[in-house]
Chain A
Amino acid sequence: MEGNFERHGGLSDADYQAVLERLRTWASTHRRQSEQIIMIMGKSLTPHQFVHQIAEETEFGRSFLDYLRRQSEASVQTERPLRPQDFIDRAIQANR
């Protein structure tokens, strides 16, 4: 995977911990938690395996954190700025 992503994808320690905590909730409440749902052709992941990628800060995990940081920064220009963890909260809500 290309890219040299920063530690935590550039997120602060506090935001990283908040994202990780919410991702664990997302995985444990997912209706397909034991199924492979994240299809990276050659390395498909269950929700828990996805969280493991973030917790271990693999290259893929860091790319996701970097993505969250960029999306959060882009939202500052809008009427409703979002913290990185807010995107995960939305995913948790979608599981309900």
Chain B
Amino acid sequence: MAKNVLILATRYDAATARTFEWAEDLHRQMFRFADSCMLVDATALCRAGSSLNEAIQASTHVIFYGHGETDRWIALPGTGASSSLIDDQSVSILNGRNVYAGCCSSLAVLGGAFKKKCSGGEFIGYKDTFGFDDDNEYEFRRASNQSVINFVDGTPASRIVSDLKAEWTSLNNSFASGHLRKRPNAVQAGHLADLNSQRIATP
């Protein structure tokens, strides 16, 4: 079965500028694991237009790096439905796709709507905020991007979640008492890795 990956990412503030770099890194690596991989700056996409739908329909896996809320992925800064990339009302656009949400909180409502309205795909996301420390972002990038690669490579979502929980826990231990304990902001980074480990899940 062909694997066609669509990476949607935004970059309009300090956090998303960094996660856009993660998306670019993932894009470069993904050619070894997928038949095709597109990286699209989602800031330019509007859910009312056809570009987003066409890109999703051409894909088997949809990855999002950016800001999220419980019921949506955010395309543009600001609030309101007009800034949504995909929300619980438009989630059917993801029908049949395997979805990885590298953002805050979208597991609860958006992931729940995906489970209810879509068939033939899996959804992985965070049930509350997702965080990283910028001075140690490489460690967070490595863990997150590897889990996306494993997902595209065919590992079931439940295993991805258990593996990533273990990876975030290991990273926490490394920052708290292991070989990364003397890094700048190590205790803050450990705390964020610990929170991430509690929040990655499937609907």
Contact = CB atoms under 8 A, between A and B. Distances in A.
Interface of A: 1-2, 32, 35-44, 50, 63-64, 67-68, 71, 74-75, 78, 87-88, 90-91, 93-95
A-B complex: 10 closest residue pairs judged by Cβ atoms: A40-B131, A87-B187, A39-B15, A37-B134, A67-B191, A36-B14, A94-B184, A41-B104, A44-B15, A71-B176
Contacts of A71: 176-177, 187, 190
Nearest to B13: A44
Contacts of A78: 177
B67 A41 contact: yes
Contacts of A64: 188, 191
Given A39-B132, A41-B131, A91 B192 contact: no
Interface of B: 13-16, 18-19, 66-69, 103-104, 127-135, 137, 176-177, 181-188, 190-192, 194-195, 198-199
Given A38-B188, A40-B192, A44-B14, A87 B176 contact: yes
Contacts of B190: 67, 71
A39 B191 contact: no
Among A50, A64, A91, max chain B CB count under 10 A is at: A91
Most buried by B among A41, A42, A87, A90: A41
A90 B178 CA distance: 13
A63 B191 CA distance: 8
Given A44-B13, A75-B177, A90-B182, A39 B18 contact: yes
Most buried by A among B66, B128, B181, B188: B188
A43 B134 contact: no
A38 B133 contact: yes
Contacts of B182: 90, 93-94
B172 to A, nearest CB: 9
A95 B187 CA distance: 13
14 contacts: A2-B128, A2-B198, A32-B134, A38-B134, A39-B18, A39-B137, A41-B129, A63-B195, A78-B177, A87-B176, A90-B182, A94-B185, A94-B186, A95-B184
